[in-house]
């Protein structure tokens, strides 16, 4: 639950084809034609470093954003597709290879999917219709949750935030159709517009299912009212950033006392968790408010809501009219002009639901042992630099310093792929039952995850699949994790010089490493336990430095992009720390080698060009606004300009002067490390 990634999981889309990747000139390391020389580096470094790249890479119609990450993701996806097509075409495939081949084949078989129409969901919809009382509501909800449908809440497994050697159950709010509570509570014109588009979308899907138009309208109203009520009761994203606020372990009896009508004992027994021990309730006020939904007068609205949840979450795997209507909402929220082509949807789905079976083959073909060794060495050097920095930080007392160094010492780096691959024994995948496969794989995955409760922790486990172009830090595991998918050129190139590698993948390693000490990460100790190891004065000094970053990013908010400094502060701190520490690691590495100028750029300049090229790209305005309300990561442009304008090293490398837009005045400059 406490995972801080480099990027929020990308909702829609990839694009372009492998041919275009080559045609665009996939340079290793850094390509000088990415630069737009008409922009001054000290005025807008993002536009300077990336203008050429951006001009060559317009956003494809099926994407809401396209940046350097997406270009790599696209290549990774092409390889995944080849693996899946080979598995599907191989009559001798067995075990998990046969499963992923059949899964992919069932998804690609559009004719079979069209023939079925809405039929696959009819039995579930009928079961919901048959709910007659709060007892049968709890039973049916347990059944839907087992199948992987999100409604009202999520029940999952997590490491106990205060005892990271234990795996416990948690209950967290879930089940809104729009991306965040803010979409239901905000009164501005754009929010109103999105809500009315959402209501029209709900009615359209109910009509497609076969409900009469007048009934579908009523159902849409009911769903919007019901979800708005749920949304108002949820913690805001900013409030939920405080891990102490979301840690509320309870016995089942306490949970039952909080919302007696829910029938928690019955629900947990249905989910085979009656003896689960403590359950971490992340948002008790929300769970308390849920009680009213389980009283008899609320039943008709809850049933409509549950039918909606089944229908909307099934739509992408039903026939085209349903999938198209699903995309219609996506278009409003993110601005894509066309849905993803079929093979990409199918590849992503298998990656999401059977990631280790696909990833195992994917890694064999794309990630060398030499690359793993080189990245491990970089992770060590960055950790050493951060340790040296902590040893000399003027604002940190010796007591806190000792805790920070112990935490850094215990930090583990997982590079490339998991130590043990998961298998999918017992999962039944049918070659001609796409919707059924999605449900079966979702249910299997969920059961696997819940099966961890009460068991020892697997230290080598990855929370992202190998082809993923992302990375994360886990506070509860105190580990940084880099899937092989991100350790690819141009971000990481074993053949490229240090300057580019440190600016690109080095800054990512620094980003994840310093997450251990951001506004949330610092609350976990070396063992991954939520425990305050900071002296009050040091906590105050840190908070003042974090406030500088909050103020800086609040200053970028506009009516179109309602950026919230308190939402993005953790990521902005990690970006700042990552760039700072990786730069020092480069300086250290350079002491051992002669400094060379390449393409007319010094190593220092190339470091910052490497950093900026990560975020080269464009995003549609719909997406940017949606993300500002729901994503803890700032927009790409600010991740570059906001970060680098704090660094004197950047100003020095490009000879920027006081007063230049890329140089924040000395008294406003933010620095943590």
Kindly list the residues in this chain that would bind Zn ion in the complex (CB under 5 A). Answer: 4, 571, 574
The distance of closest approach from Cβ of residue 515 to Zn ion in the complex, given in angstroms and rounded to an integer, is 6
40 phi, psi to nearest 5 deg: -80, 135
Least CB distance to Zn ion at residue 481 (A): 12
Minimum CB separation of residue 571 from Zn ion in Å reads 5
Distance, C-alpha 68 to centroid of its chain:
17
Place of tokens 């099934």: 314
Cis before residue 490, ω within 30 degrees of 0? yes
Nearer to Zn ion, 140 or 631 (CB): 631
User: How far apart (Å, rounded) are the C-alpha atoms in residues 63 and 620?
Assistant: 9
DSSP 503: I
φ/ψ region of 411 (left if φ > 0, alpha if ψ in -120 to 50, else beta) reads beta
CB 70 within 8 A of CB 63: yes
3-state secondary structure string, 444-459? HHHHHHHCCCCCCCCC
CB atoms within 10 A of CB 274: 13
CB of 231 to Zn ion, least distance (A): 26
Looking at beta carbons only, is 234 or 470 nearer to Zn ion?
470
The CB-of-633 to Zn ion minimum distance in angstroms stands at 7
Shortest distance (Å) from residue 411 CB to Zn ion: 15
Burial of 119 (0-12, 13-18, 19+ CB in 10 A): exposed
Q: Which of residues 80 and 574 has its CB atom nearest to Zn ion in the complex?
A: 574
48 or 583: CB nearest Zn ion: 583
CB closer to Zn ion out of 270 and 571: 571
Least Cβ distance, residue 178 to Zn ion (angstroms): 24
| Residue 133 burial class via C-beta count within 10 angstroms: exposed 0-12, middle 13-18, buried 19 and up | exposed
| 577 vs 47: CA distance, rounded Å | 22
Q: Which is nearer to Zn ion, 182 or 571 (CB)?
A: 571
Nearer of residues 360 and 511 to Zn ion, judged by Cβ: 511
Query: Nearer to Zn ion by C-beta: 44 or 571?
Result: 571
Residue 645 corresponds to which tokens in the numbers above? 């304008």
Structure tokens at 435: 């919707």
Rounded CA-CA distance 369/375 in Å is: 10
Q: Are 29 and 490 in contact (CB under 8 A)?
A: yes
Task: Output the CA torsion 362→367→373→379 (10° steps).
Answer: -80
Distance CA 58, CA 65 (A): 9
In the block, tokens 């079976």 appear at 357
- Which of residues 415 and 574 has its CB atom nearest to Zn ion in the complex? 574
Q: Yes or no: say if 152 and 230 are a contact pair by the CB < 8 Å rule.
A: yes
- Least distance to Zn ion from the beta carbon of 628, Å? 16
Query: What letter does residue 530 receive in the DSSP assignment?
Result: B
Cβ 182 to Zn ion, closest distance in Å? 21
Q: Which of 102, 182, 528 is nearest to 346 (CA)?
A: 102
Least distance to Zn ion from the beta carbon of 207, Å?
Answer: 42
Residue number with CB closer to Zn ion (34 or 476): 476
* CA–CA–CA angle 92, 94, 96 (5° rounding): 140
Q: How far is the CB of 378 from Zn ion (least distance, A)?
A: 17
Nearest distance from residue 28's CB to Zn ion, in Å?
Answer: 26
Contacts of 610 (CB under 8 A, 6+ apart): 29, 30, 499, 500, 501, 502, 503, 504, 507
Residue 366 or 613: the one with the smaller Cβ distance to Zn ion is: 613
Nearer to Zn ion, 347 or 478 (CB): 478
| Per-residue DSSP letter, 598 | B
Q: What is the DSSP string of 118-170?
A: TGGGHHHHHHHHT--SHHHHHHHHHHHHHTT--BSEEEEEEEETTEEEEEEEE
Q: Measured from the CB of residue 574, what is the shortest distance to Zn ion in angstroms? A: 5
Q: Tell me whether residue 207 or residue 639 sits nearer to Zn ion (CB atom).
A: 639
């Amino acid at each position: 639950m406490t995972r801080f990634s480099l990027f929020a999981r990308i909702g829609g889309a990839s694009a372009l084809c492998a041919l275009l990747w080559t045609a665009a000139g996939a340079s290793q390391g850094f390509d000088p034609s990415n630069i737009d020389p008409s922009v001054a580096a000290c005025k807008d470094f993002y536009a300077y470093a990336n203008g050429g790249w951006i001009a060559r890479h317009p956003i494809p119609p099926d994407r809401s954003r396209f940046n350097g990450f997406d270009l790599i993701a696209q290549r990774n996806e092409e390889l995944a597709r080849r693996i899946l097509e080979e598995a599907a075409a191989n009559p001798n495939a067995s075990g998990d290879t046969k499963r992923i081949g059949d899964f992919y084949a069932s998804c690609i078989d559009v004719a079979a999917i069209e023939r079925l129409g809405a039929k696959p969901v009819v039995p579930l919809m009928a079961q919901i219709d048959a709910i007659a009382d709060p007892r049968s509501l709890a039973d049916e909800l347990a059944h839907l949750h087992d199948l992987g449908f999100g409604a009202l809440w999520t029940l999952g497994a997590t490491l106990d935030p205060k005892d990271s050697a234990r795996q416990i159950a948690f209950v967290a709010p879930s089940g809104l159709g729009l991306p965040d509570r803010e979409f239901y509570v905000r009164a501005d014109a754009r929010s109103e517009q999105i809500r009315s588009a959402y209501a029209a979308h709900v009615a359209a899907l109910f009509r497609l299912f076969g409900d009469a138009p007048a009934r579908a309208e009523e159902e849409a109203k009911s769903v919007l009212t019901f979800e708005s009520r749920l949304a108002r009761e949820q913690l805001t994203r900013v409030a939920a950033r405080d891990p102490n606020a979301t840690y509320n372990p309870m016995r089942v009896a306490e949970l039952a006392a909080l919302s007696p009508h829910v029938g928690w004992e019955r629900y947990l027994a249905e989910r085979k968790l009656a003896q689960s021990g403590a359950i971490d309730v992340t948002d008790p006020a929300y769970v308390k408010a849920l009680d009213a939904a389980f009283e008899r007068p609320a039943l008709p609205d809850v049933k409509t809501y549950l039918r909606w949840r089944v229908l909307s979450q099934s739509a992408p795997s039903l026939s085209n009219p349903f999938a198209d209507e699903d995309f219609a909402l996506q278009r409003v929220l993110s601005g894509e002009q066309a849905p993803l082509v079929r093979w990409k949807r199918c590849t992503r789905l298998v990656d999401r639901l059977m990631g280790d079976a696909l990833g195992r083959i994917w890694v064999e073909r794309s990630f060398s042992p030499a690359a793993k060794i080189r990245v491990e060495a970089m992770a060590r050097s960055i950790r050493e630099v951060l340790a040296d920095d902590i040893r000399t930080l003027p604002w940190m007392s010796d007591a806190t310093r000792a805790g920070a160094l112990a935490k850094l010492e215990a930090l583990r780096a997982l590079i490339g792929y998991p130590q043990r691959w998961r298998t999918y024994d017992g999962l039944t995948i049918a070659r001609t039952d796409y919707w059924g496969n999605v449900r079966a794989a979702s249910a299997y995955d969920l059961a696997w995850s819940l099966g961890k409760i009460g068991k020892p922790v697997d230290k080598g486990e990855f929370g992202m699949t190998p082809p993923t172009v992302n990375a994360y830090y886990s506070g509860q595991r105190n580990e940084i994790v880099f899937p092989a998918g991100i350790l690819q050129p141009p971000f990481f190139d074993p053949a490229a010089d240090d300057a580019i590698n440190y600016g690109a993948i080095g800054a990512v390693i620094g980003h994840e490493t310093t997450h251990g000490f951001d506004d949330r990460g610092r609350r976990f100790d070396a063992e991954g336990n939520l425990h305050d190891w900071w002296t009050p004065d040091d906590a105050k000094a840190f908070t003042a430095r974090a406030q500088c970053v909050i103020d800086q990013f609040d200053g970028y908010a506009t009516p179109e992009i309602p950026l919230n400094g308190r939402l993005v502060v953790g990521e902005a701190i990690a970006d700042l720390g990552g760039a700072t520490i990786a730069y020092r690691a480069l300086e250290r590495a350079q002491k051992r080698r002669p400094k060379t100028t390449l393409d007319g750029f010094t190593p220092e300049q190339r470091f910052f060009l490497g950093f900026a090229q990560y975020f080269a790209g464009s995003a549609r305005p719909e997406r940017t606004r949606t993300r500002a309300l729901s994503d803890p990561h700032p927009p790409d442009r600010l991740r570059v300009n906001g970060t680098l304008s704090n660094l004197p090293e950047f100003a020095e490398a490009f000879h920027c002067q006081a007063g230049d837009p890329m140089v924040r005045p000395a008294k406003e400059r933010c620095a943590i490390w």
